[in-house]
Structure 1
Amino acid sequence: MFATELDPQTPNIARIYDYYLGGAFNLPADRERAARIGSVLPGMEMLARLNRGFLRRAVAFMVDEGITQFLDLGSGLPTAGNTHEVAQARDPRAKVVYVDYEPVAVALGRRILRDNPRAVMVEADARRPDDLFAHPEVREVLDLDRPLGVLMTGVMVFVGDHEDPVGLMKAYRDACAPGSLIALSQLSDEQADAATKAQVHAMVEAYKGVIEQLYVRDRAGVEALFEGLTLVEPGVALMPEWRPREDAEIPTGSPAHHLGYAAVGRVD
């Protein structure tokens, strides 16, 4: 299943996330690390699923708004109901560029997408938008003169305040044509009880050695990221409460319900 150059003994964040989502592209080392993380934050699997659920609803909303091209930043593996599956099911013309800076995720993602001519995966750092937009595959697939759907459901949790996340959002906003939509989700413990806050801190520690530092933000910090954008209703909301499907049951009893904010902003 996996290329021989990928170390099967080293857990990988993209494959761990795939495991949380019920995907098939993960290995024993990933599942072992996922179990360790889950032991300190029991709601971690549900949190991953809520985050993916928001992405799916945001993509569906964007397609309904006429968006036919997408840039998925910090995407991880293009599996388990990811952007291209949702978008192309609603509009077969939809094009998707997945971006990840992690070589293992990119190598496997390219294999997964090899039979999809309207979806590609590129290796680039979402924290360097100038380099990303200069990437030849990005320039080939996306027309920046037309509205773009930008997904940032796995980016800002890795960007600390010392790295100017507001400036990073502005850079993407400025690169997008009017009518573009930017979706963002963010880990937060603002509405969690004391025990869950302690678990989030322990989870951040458990991830060390697999990924970089994780950062949490409160609602005001998330709202600041949308400076210069027009927020789509309902504005900044808890992830499962952003435009939930009418037939969906919101798992309000899970601590994960309160552990992330989500919003979509429009470029005017």
Structure 2
Amino acid sequence: MTATLLKGTAYITGGASGIGRATAFGLARHGIKRLALTDISQENLLATSEALKSQYADVEIESLQLDVRDVKAVDYSITQAVKRFGRIDVAVNVAGISGAGKATDATDESDWTSVLDVNLNGVWRSQRAQVRAMMKQENLGIRKGRGSIINVASMYGLIASPVDIPATPYTSSKHGVIGLTRSDAITYAPHGIRINAICPGYVRTPLLQLATERGSMDPEIAKTPMGRLAEVEEISDAIVFMASPMASFMAGSALLVDGGYSAN
């Protein structure tokens, strides 16, 4: 791949840590020169922005603190990104939480609603604002269109979470993200907006790394044919592909990147 695989402006929610941070670096590495980086943590935003600028000095960064539960803040962040950069070519919705990890009978309604409000409603709020902005943009042809949106779901959006890992709110929210992705994909594909989802398996985030060191992830890693966790860069590479003209005929897809877990 060359640094010209991507061009234009990208916008990322949850872009200052984990998969979001890796995606910011991946997009910059492959040609994005204008980046609207949003995250709930101002501290992480500052650190990620500084790290990006040190490695990619020619990338312009708009850092915006954002809680995707706040519809006004979501709309404002898109407005600011367009105001500064003119358009949004790629939008990646990463922001999400894992939740309490309890079985349904032990889950409070507040636990349920908090996960759904971030993981599903937050993606909907973000995608709505992104679509509204993209619909006003010039269509750059069949390979680029008006823009590309990638929603980060999970393999749990296509399969159930294991019995020993109760995650019904999280799993339900990720199934919802895939439904949202597919429904909006067929609505907006005729307008030159591609909407797809990516479904990672177990990824080496700080939380899972700690669980791995304690051995509590061993049974799940054993179920993964590749026998390991994914690195965040492996997920961001797949996102770069989906954002690029190489995926120009993809719409409504739920791309599994799970080391073969769901094929068992």
- TM-score normalised to structure 1 length: 0.43
TM-score w.r.t. structure 2 length? 0.43
Give the helix-richer structure, 1 or 2: 2
